[in-house]
């Protein structure tokens, strides 16, 4: 169970998970155990229920060796959520366990997905991306540029706000500060925009930075963390809630990814979005609104990585991949990324047992999400949700966070560098036509080719020979590949292990006309 749980701090726990205002009715879904607690504190009968199918059980509240819980949709007074939170903490020794829904229809749609009987339009159209790891030439130099000190500075800056609670001035101002910080980092890049996502029901805005993909921009990769903080003992303007680990560490980690990508001039083919969510601590509300709006708009989010708590090393392994409310195929990819790029790190797995962070909002909409976490569940930072969740209590350095920042960069570049149709396929094609007289030569390029196969081929009349070469224009005696058969049907290719310029030369061995096709992976 959560080591930060203190049975006596009940008044504080009331505010911990929901902190709602009385009066309004809201729709929530929750599992059997949480429903039993709710029924103790208020008379509710589920309006609808669903049992997850076997295929979906891994993304439900089930735990190994136990029957999957049913999930129930109920309408309650927002105030009853405070009592539910308290009861869940008191009786089940955990937090969360329920999800907000904007309406009954939205709640029902969510239940149906749990039962495996319905799919969102966005889910039906969802691309399962290639998980081939083939961007070493890009990733490795970027990883070497990443620094713990930058992450530590961002943690220090964010935890300097009295709190970042979703309804306080600190919550609002920290959002404005982060927007400014990301905007400054992105200076000089016309392909990067930084915006705030306004939420109708509370003051704090989420912050979203977008690097627009060069040629596959409709496919989106999301790196997320939550901006807000909470103190379980109170939620006034003056209540100290530094949230250094939970979750300034996650925001700082993805900020270092953004800084490194800009410093390295990295331009993804897919769109990469950095999201700092508002109002996570009060029921994943910010991420839920964002994931809902993306799903409603049919946005093709191909993968989500959530970083929530990255700087407290509480366990023997370095990174724990959480297996519930996440996608197992993407989790395997994430594990492979660690083996490839961070081979000295030790990896474990664990579960929250409930939708404990914003990844669950994306999972609920059918998207593929992962949560690499700082420790085993019962060995996490004991200071979270208190005034003592400070940088000092994570050792005044961000070495642990740096591992997660590096993993997030590798993840975003490996997914972000794929064109339509996945990775590994050379898919920029250019065609040139013309004619050559006897012994006449003509050069083409430079082609800005990325790691992978560069291929040039010709068809035509007469007898035209083909040469290709990295860095400089080839001659008929210096080239990386040539094709000089007795017709104009030629083809040769170069396997590029680093990004670079490639040039092509055609020569009329006999006069003729040609159609030259060049195919390569853009940088």
Q: Does 17 bind ligand BES (CB under 6 A)?
A: yes
**Is there a contact between 355 and 362 (Cβ–Cβ < 8 Å)?**
no
| Tokens coding 387 | 């005034």
* Angle at CA of residue 96, ends 378 and 1, nearest 5°: 20
Q: Does 246 bind Zn ion (CB under 5 A)?
A: yes
Alpha-carbon distance of 33 to 111, in angstroms, equals: 17
Q: Does 479 bind ligand BES (CB under 6 A)?
A: no
**Among Zn ion, ligand BES, none, partner that 419 touches (CB below 5 to 8 angstroms by kind):** none
Q: DSSP string of 249-292?
A: HHHHHHHHHHHHHHHTT---SEEEEEEEES--TTTSHHHHHHHH
Query: Can you tell me which of 318, 380, 414, 463 binds ligand BES, judged by CB under 6 A?
Result: 380
Phi first, then psi: give them for residue 519, nearest 5 degrees. -130, 130
Beta pairing class for 192-197 and 98-101 = unpaired
Q: Does 228 bind Zn ion (CB under 5 A)?
A: no
Look at residues 79, 98, 91, 95 and name the one whose alpha carbon lies nearest to residue 30.
98
| Tokens coding 168 | 């306080």
| Tokens coding 171 | 């919550």
Q: Which residue is nearest to Zn ion (CB)?
A: 246
**Among ligand BES, Zn ion, none, partner that 510 touches (CB below 5 to 8 angstroms by kind):** none
**Is there a contact between 30 and 87 (Cβ–Cβ < 8 Å)?**
no
Look at residues 452, 80, 488, 99 and name the one whose alpha carbon lies nearest to residue 282.
99
Alpha-carbon distance of 159 to 388, in angstroms, equals: 11
Q: Does 358 bind Zn ion (CB under 5 A)?
A: no
**Among ligand BES, Zn ion, none, partner that 389 touches (CB below 5 to 8 angstroms by kind):** none
Query: Can you tell me which of 69, 246, 389, 465 binds ligand BES, judged by CB under 6 A?
Result: 246
Phi first, then psi: give them for residue 31, nearest 5 degrees. -85, 175
* Interactions with ligand BES, residue window 338-357 (CB under 6 A): 352, 355-357
Q: Does 38 bind ligand BES (CB under 6 A)?
A: no
Q: Which is nearer to ligand BES, 51 or 287 (CB)?
A: 287
Nearest approach, Cβ of residue 482 and ligand BES (Å): 59
Query: Can you tell me which of 308, 463, 465, 480 binds ligand BES, judged by CB under 6 A?
Result: 308
Catalytic residue numbers? 226, 246, 280-281, 308, 385
Q: Does 280 bind ligand BES (CB under 6 A)?
A: yes
Q: Which is nearer to ligand BES, 248 or 456 (CB)?
A: 248
Applying CB under 5 A, the span of 280-288, 325-333, 394-402, 438-446 interacting with Zn ion comes to: 280-288
Give me the residues paired with residue 467 across strands: 482, 505
Q: Does 6 bind ligand BES (CB under 6 A)?
A: no
Q: Angle, nearest 10°, between helix axes 399-416 and 148-159?
A: 110
* Angle at CA of residue 288, ends 243 and 82, nearest 5°: 65
Applying CB under 5 A, the span of 101-109, 243-251, 500-508, 514-522 interacting with Zn ion comes to: 243-251
Q: Which residue is nearest to ligand BES (CB)?
A: 95
Interface contacts to ligand BES, rule CB under 6 A: 2, 17, 95-96, 246-247, 280-281, 283-284, 308-309, 352, 355-357, 377, 380
Site residues for Zn ion per CB under 5 A: 246, 281
């Amino acid at each position: 169970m959560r080591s930060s749980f203190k049975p006596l701090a009940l008044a504080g726990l009331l505010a911990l998970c929901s902190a709602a205002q009385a009066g309004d009715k809201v729709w929530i879904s929750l599992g059997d155990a949480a429903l039993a607690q709710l029924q103790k504190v208020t008379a509710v009968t589920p309006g609808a229920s669903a049992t997850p199918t076997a295929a979906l059980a891994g993304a439900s509240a089930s735990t190994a060796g136990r029957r999957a819980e049913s999930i129930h949709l109920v309408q309650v007074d927002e105030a009853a959520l405070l009592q539910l939170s308290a009861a869940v903490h008191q009786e089940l020794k955990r937090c969360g366990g329920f999800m907000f829904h904007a309406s009954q229809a939205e709640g029902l749609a969510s239940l149906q997905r749990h039962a495996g009987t319905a799919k969102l339009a966005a889910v039906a159209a969802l691309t399962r991306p290639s998980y081939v790891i083939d961007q070493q030439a890009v990733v490795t130099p970027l990883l070497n540029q990443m620094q713990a000190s930058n992450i530590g500075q961002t943690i220090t800056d964010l935890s300097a706000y009295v709190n970042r609670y979703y309804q306080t001035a600190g919550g609002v101002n920290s959002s404005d500060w982060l927007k400014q910080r990301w905007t400054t980092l992105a200076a000089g890049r016309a392909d990067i925009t930084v915006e705030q996502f306004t939420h109708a029901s509370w003051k704090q805005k989420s912050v979203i930075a977008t690097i627009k993909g060069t040629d596959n921009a409709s496919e989106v990769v999301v790196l997320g963390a939550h901006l807000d903080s909470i103190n379980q003992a109170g939620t006034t303007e003056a209540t100290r809630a530094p949230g250094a680990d939970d979750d300034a560490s996650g925001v700082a980690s993805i900020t270092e990814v953004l800084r490194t990508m800009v410093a390295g001039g990295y331009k993804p083919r897919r769109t990469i979005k950095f999201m700092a969510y508002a109002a996570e601590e009060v029921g994943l509300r910010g991420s839920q609104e964002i994931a809902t709006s993306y799903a409603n708009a049919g946005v093709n989010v191909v993968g989500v990585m959530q970083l929530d708590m990255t700087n407290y090393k509480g366990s023997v392994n370095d990174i724990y991949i959480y297996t519930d409310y996440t996608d197992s195929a993407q989790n395997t990819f994430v594990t492979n990324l660690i083996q490839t790029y961070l081979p000295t790190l030790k990896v474990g797995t664990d579960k929250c047992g409930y939708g404990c962070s914003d990844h669950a909002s994306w999972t609920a909409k059918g998207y593929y999400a992962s949560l690499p976490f700082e420790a085993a569940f019962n060995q996490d930072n004991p200071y979270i949700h208190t005034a003592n969740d400070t940088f000092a209590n994570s050792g005044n350095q961000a070495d642990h966070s740096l591992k997660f920042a590096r993993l997030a960069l590798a993840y975003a570049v490996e997914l972000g560098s794929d064109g339509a149709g996945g990775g590994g396929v050379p898919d920029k094609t250019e065609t040139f036509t013309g004619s050559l007289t006897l012994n006449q030569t003509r050069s083409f390029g430079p082609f800005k080719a990325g790691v992978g196969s560069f291929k040039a081929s010709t068809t035509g009349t007469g007898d035209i020979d083909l040469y290709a070469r990295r860095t400089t224009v080839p001659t008929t005696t210096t080239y990386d590949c040539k094709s000089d058969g007795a017709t104009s049907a030629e083809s040769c290719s170069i396997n590029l292990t680093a990004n670079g310029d490639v040039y092509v030369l055609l020569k009329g061995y006999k006069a003729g006309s040609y159609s030259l096709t060049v195919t390569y992976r853009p940088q």
